[in-house]
């Protein structure tokens, strides 16, 4: 009902969404990194596993925050009686499907480098090759795509929205 206020403000939609992103990303990142670092210290993992975990959680948090913001702007639901209706809307269900798929693919891509690392560390077998940097590169590309495509589509959708 009062969505017209967003269109009368003196900032662009991109800057508005960037502000929303930076409002949600740091606290989510802090909690996620705290859990990962404390868990890894309790498990007494080595420096490689710790660094992969910290970078991986950073990328996952970045990607999922952007995905949620992008799909929220692409499929906004302003007319709800109960807040739970948002999660069962088109955007909510699509977010859950894409988020679980993204997490699963990142875990699958991250498993091979850790498998190579553990073989070298515990079995003294060097089985790694080109697939380790390829896996990490694919994780970065996937995170970039999951972060930027929904945001661009969402901004385009909001700019084209008729108030």
Mean model confidence pLDDT for the chain: 89
Binned at pLDDT 50, 70 and 90, residue 89 comes out as: confident
CA 30/CA 34 separation, integer angstroms: 6
Q: How many residues does the chain have?
A: 163
CB–CB of 72/96 below 8 Å? no
Per-residue confidence at 75, pLDDT binned at 50, 70, 90?
confident
Instruction: With respect to residue 74, please indicate whether it lies within any of the assigned structural domains.
Output: yes
How far is 110 from 100, CA to CA, in rounded Å?
15
pLDDT greater than 90 at residue 79: no
Q: Give the mean pLDDT of 50-59.
A: 97
- Count of C-beta atoms within a 10 Å radius of residue 102: 20
| pLDDT bucket at 141, cuts 50 / 70 / 90 | very high
* Domain annotation covers residue 76: yes
Residue 3 counted as domain residue: no
**134 within some domain:** yes
* 158: number of Cβ within 10 Å: 18
What average pLDDT does the segment 90-108 reach? 95
CA atoms in the 13 A half-sphere facing the CB of 123: 9
Residue with more model confidence, 102 or 6: 102
Domain count, the chain: 1
Per-residue pLDDT, 127: 78
Residue 1 in domain = no
Question: pTM here?
Answer: 0.88
Please determine, for residue 90, whether its predicted confidence score (pLDDT) is greater than 90. Answer: no
Comparison of pLDDT for 158 and 56, the residue scoring more: 56
Query: What is the span of the domain harbouring residue 153?
Result: 12-160
Residue 135 inside a domain? The answer is yes
Residue 41 maps to a domain:
yes
């Amino acid at each position: 009902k009062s969505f017209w206020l967003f269109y009368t403000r003196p900032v662009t939609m991109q800057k508005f969404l960037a502000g929303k992103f930076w409002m949600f990303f740091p606290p989510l990142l802090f909690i996620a990194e705290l859990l990962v670092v404390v868990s890894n210290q309790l498990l007494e993992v080595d420096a490689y596993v710790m660094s992969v975990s910290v970078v991986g959680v950073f990328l996952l948090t970045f990607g999922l925050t952007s995905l949620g913001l992008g799909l929220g702007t692409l499929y906004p639901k302003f007319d709800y009686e109960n807040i739970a209706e948002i999660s069962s809307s088109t955007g909510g269900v699509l977010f859950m499907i894409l988020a679980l798929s993204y997490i699963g693919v990142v875990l699958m891509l991250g498993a091979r480098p850790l498998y190579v690392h553990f073989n070298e560390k515990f079995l003294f077998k060097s089985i790694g090759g080109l697939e380790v940097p390829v896996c990490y590169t694919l994780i970065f590309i996937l995170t970039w795509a999951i972060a930027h495509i929904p945001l661009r589509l969402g901004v385009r959708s909001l700019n084209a929205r008729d108030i």
